[in-house]
Structure 1
C-alpha cells in the first residue's frame, strides 16, 4: 500500500446500456486496494436498469455519486462527471471494463515515483465468462516528456489515445472537455492533457 498519500482519486464511469457488465465494473472499482476514491457514475439516460443499479450502488457505498442525465453520448457523460469531480487525480473507466484490484494504487505509485502528471498503463482484453488473467504482465516502466508521449501515443507505439487506462492530475484537464457528438472523442482531447 502507498504510504503517506492521501490523494482523492475521482473515477468517472459513463454508463449506457451495459446492464450485464455494470456490476462487475463497479465492484472492481469499489474493491480497489486504494480506498480514497470518489466514484462518479454517470447514467447517460440508459433505457435499461442501469440508472436503478447506480442508485443501489450509491446506497451501499458512500464514495459513489450518481448523475442521471438525458442521453447525450460518451463525451457529454464524461464532461458531466468532470463537472462535479473533486479529486486530486482522475481516471476514466468504461462501463464494460474491469480494473485490476490495485490499478489505482499502482498508477499513484508510478505518478509519485516519477513526479509525473499523467500515468498510463497497458490493458488486457477478455471474453465475458472466459478465462481472465489477473496477474500482472511484466512491462518496463518508462518516463516521457510531453513531446515523446504525444509522439508515442499518436503512432500507437506504446499506448493509444483512449481516455481510459490513464490517470491524470486534475490540473492537466483544466479547460479541457470531450467534444460533443464526435466518435473517437479521445483523439482531440488526450494530447491536450499530455501537453500540460
Structure 2
C-alpha cells in the first residue's frame, strides 16, 4: 500500500443519514488502499454523526472535520486544506462509487502523466434507475486548452467536482466560493482546469450520481436560480479574459442558454416587485452578449437577448404566458 501515493478522498455531508452508510461502504471498499478519507460534517442535525463515527472506529483512514452549517463550499475548502495526499478526489455523501473508482482514476492519471483524470457517472434516481445518458466522445486525452473548451461547453466534460482526480497542488491554490450557497462547483472547476497541461478521460461509469426529487435541479427556486446566474457570469467573465479559444459559438450558446433558463425561472416564479435588483442586474449583463451575431448564437437566442435587454416588461409578459 505504501508504495502507492496517498489519495485524499473528501466527502462533504449534511443531514445524510439516509445515504451516508452506502456511500462510506463503497469508499472503504476501494481497491486502491492508500486513502485518506476526510469527512466534513457541515453541521448535521440528524444521525449523520452516528454513522460516520461507527465507520471511523473501524477504519483508521477516516478523519472527521466538523463545522457549523456554512455550506458545501466551506466544507470542501476545509477538506482540501486538511488533505495531505498527493492527489485529491471527491465523493458526495448521497452518491456511491464502484470499487475501482480511485484505482482507475489513479491509473489513468499516472499512465498518461496527466494533471486531471476523469471517469464517467451513471445518472440514477433513488431506486437505481438510469435517468440520463450524457454525451460521450471518442477523445480520451486532451491538452489543457481542449479540456477547458469541453468543460465550458458542459457536455462531454461537466463541472462536477466528483468523478475526477486532481493533483493536490491544483486545488490548494483554488477555493470554492463560500458566498454562493449552490452551484459553487460550476464557478470553480474552470479555474482548476485552466491550470492543467494534460487531462485524460475514461468512459467507464464508476460513479453513481443519485438525483433526488428534492434536489436543486428539480426545485430551482428564484433565489437559487439567481445564485446560478452569478456562477454563470463568473464563468463567462473568466472565458472573456482568457486567451481566445476555438468553438466560441458553442461556448457562448451554452452560456446564453443557461442565462435564459435562469431568467425564465426567476420571472415565472416571482411577482413584479420581487428580486427587482437581481432582475435588473441580469438585464444589464445581457449587454455583453449583444455583440454576438445571429450566425454564432442562432435566431432564438439573438432575439430573446435583445427583447429582454430593450423591452424587459414585454419579455416578462411573453414568458409568463408560456
TM-score (ref. length: structure 1): 0.90
Contact 1:91 1:167 in 2 (8 A): yes
Partner of 1:187: 186
Aligned-partner Cα distance in 1 for 2:87–2:114 = 11
Shift of 1:174: 2.6
Aligned-partner Cα distance in 1 for 2:138–2:107 = 14
Partner of 2:82: 84
Aligned-partner Cα distance in 1 for 2:164–2:72 = 17
Partner of 1:135: none
Aligned-partner Cα distance in 2 for 1:13–1:87 = 15
Instruction: Give the SS at the match of 2:151.
Output: helix
| 1:4-153 paired onto structure 2 within 5 Å | 6-130=4-128, 142-153=140-151
Aligned-partner Cα distance in 2 for 1:4–1:95 = 27
Aligned-partner Cα distance in 1 for 2:152–2:26 = 29
Contact 1:122 1:159 in 2 (8 A): no
Instruction: State the superposition RMSD in angstroms.
Output: 2.0
Greater RCO (CA < 8 Å, at least 6 residues apart): 1
Aligned-partner Cα distance in 1 for 2:28–2:102 = 11
Aligned-partner Cα distance in 2 for 1:27–1:40 = 14
TM-superposition CA deviations, 1:97-127 (whole Å, max 9, x none) = 1101100000011001110010111100223
Cα distance change on mapping 1:142 and 1:110 into 2, 3 Å: same
TM-superposition CA deviations, 1:64-98 (whole Å, max 9, x none) = 00011111001011011111100010001110111
Aligned-partner Cα distance in 2 for 1:63–1:90 = 14
Going by fraction, where is helix more abundant, 1 or 2? 2
Aligned-partner Cα distance in 2 for 1:139–1:145 = 15
Aligned-partner Cα distance in 2 for 1:164–1:158 = 15
Residue correspondences, number: 189
TM-score (ref. length: structure 2): 0.56
TM-superposition CA deviations, 1:135-180 (whole Å, max 9, x none) = xxx9856111111111101112311111111110111123211000
